[in-house]
Amino acid sequence: MAQLPMPARYTSSHRQPAQSVLRRENSKRSFLIAWSGPKPPGLKTLPRKYGGRGGYPHGILSSMPSPADVADRSHMQRALDLARQTAGLASPNPQVGCVLVRENPTDRAADQVLGEGAHRYDERDHAEIAALKQAAANGHDVRGATAYVTLEPCAHHGRTGPCADALLAAGIRRCVVATTDPNPLVSGTGLARLHAAGVEVDLGPGSDEARSLNLPFAHFIQHGRPFVTLKAAVSVDGYLAPPPAARALRQPHWLTGPAARAEVHSLRHASDALLTGIGTVLADDPALTDRSGLPRRRPLLRVILDPHLRLPPASQLLRDAQTSTSASDLLLLCAESAPLANQHTLHTAAAGRIEILRLPASPSGRLSLPPVLALLAERNCLSLLLEAGSALNSAFLHEDLVDRIVLFFSPTELGAGSIPFSAAGPSAYVLQQRLHQRRTASVGADMMITGLLHDPWPALS
């Protein structure tokens, strides 16, 4: 029997050119490295800690973190926890958390939390503003306090005013930032504004986690298309499903256990849209809904590529559409030549709660994928979860449109003749060996392997 892939040792891919020296944190020790982000405009040579208050001499390592470092990490971890709680609530903006702290100079373990907040798109306030408002509501004066923010405070006007200006007006003395803004047009400007006004700025604690939370935002802001995650459950010998003759029609064949399926709903919850092909719908009759039970500001957009409008009127997708409270969570994309009679039938079956759009197709009837992604980008879909079969997996990989991979390996063996992971592309085993920042985890009886094919953050160096 084939064996599950062995976990790979995780190595950070962030290589950092020597531009400006800041104090940076890792999980074991505190040390000095070069800041990899863009140099803030208007600054020449930055001090060794970018306006900081000392730290270790350059090149000298400390075997143990200082109490100040421990406190910084703890407060930043709380800010990251707040940011994580906004999955499904912040898009199309980034997930950001902020904690305002009154430092105790003699005992950092006794720091006082004055206010905290996270950004939720419908509430408009950025995380820093939410934290300032909570502090004010609790009667706290934040002058001289430290702000821990998971993403660089903005310095430009959007739906709200610049958060860097709000922190300055509040009298913040120190700002600890996990990572710079991924937008190359504004990255570093918030840090520069704070530094120029005399605020002590530290960059780095929690950077990996903050960047991981905002991969879709970082990708979208630079490339203008959704960040695509390909999710697949495969057997131990690398197949998606048994041969069609060996399975019941229009019923899912579960390879993985309940724990892995719960992880899939977490992925759906964190995604703006989910895409599959008509072949998967005809084979499995899926609902493709987010059943995580967690709140989200807009419904998961379910996108079906169905060039000839073959979706059965009695499918679970259309039955769900009849009772949906949203008129826009099911989108069928078909070829311009698809039968109009089929379109009318589907509209009737879904009680009008379905959107059908026609796109140009190849002579063979296949829809071009870049226009599909462009259409989703126009709808502010920053993240797309691909849950498809062999043909679409192969097409997305062939056109280099997949950014992240999530594979669930089941201990079940399906055998030769089963449906492959990718019709004309790499096997799941070959693909997982190409991943950057690869991680493995046991999920019940299954193994989950995740990693990146394209990381938008190193491109900012």
Which residue of the set 25, 116, 128, 263 is catalytic? 128
Q: What is the DSSP string of 182-236?
A: S-TTTTTHHHHHHHHTT-EEEE-TTHHHHHHHTHHHHHHHHHSSPEEEEEEEE-T
357 beta partners:
333
Q: Which residue has the tokens 């009667």?
A: 139
Joined together, the tokens standing for residue 236 give 């131990």
Distance CA 241, CA 235 (A): 8
What is the enclosing helix (H) or strand (E) of 21? strand 20-25
Element housing 114 (H / E): strand 112-118
At residue 79, what are phi and psi to the nearest 5 degrees? Answer: -65, -40
**Which uninterrupted H or E stretch holds 439?**
strand 436-443
Tell me, yes or no, if 128 is annotated catalytic. yes
Question: CA–CA distance from 416 to each of 237, 243, 411 (Å)?
Answer: 9, 9, 16
Q: Which regions of 293-411 does DSSP assign to beta strands (E)?
A: 301-305, 330-335, 355-359, 383-386, 404-409
Measured from the Cβ of residue 38, the count of other Cβ atoms closer than 10 Å reads 18
3-state secondary structure of 268: helix
Phi, psi (deg, nearest 5) at residue 250? 55, 40
Show Cβ contacts of residue 96 under 8 Å, excluding neighbours closer than 6 positions: 83, 86, 90, 118, 119, 126, 127, 149, 150, 151
Which strand ranges, in their side-by-side order, compose the sheet holding 97-102?
112-118, 97-102, 146-149, 174-177, 200-203
Q: What amino acid is encoded at 133 in this protein?
A: K
Local structure of 448: helix, strand or coil: strand
Directed axis angle between helix 163-170 and helix 189-196, to 10°? 20
Q: How far is Cα 28 from Cα 208, in angstroms, rounded to an integer?
A: 14
First to last CA, the chain: 44
Show which residues are catalytic. Answer: 128
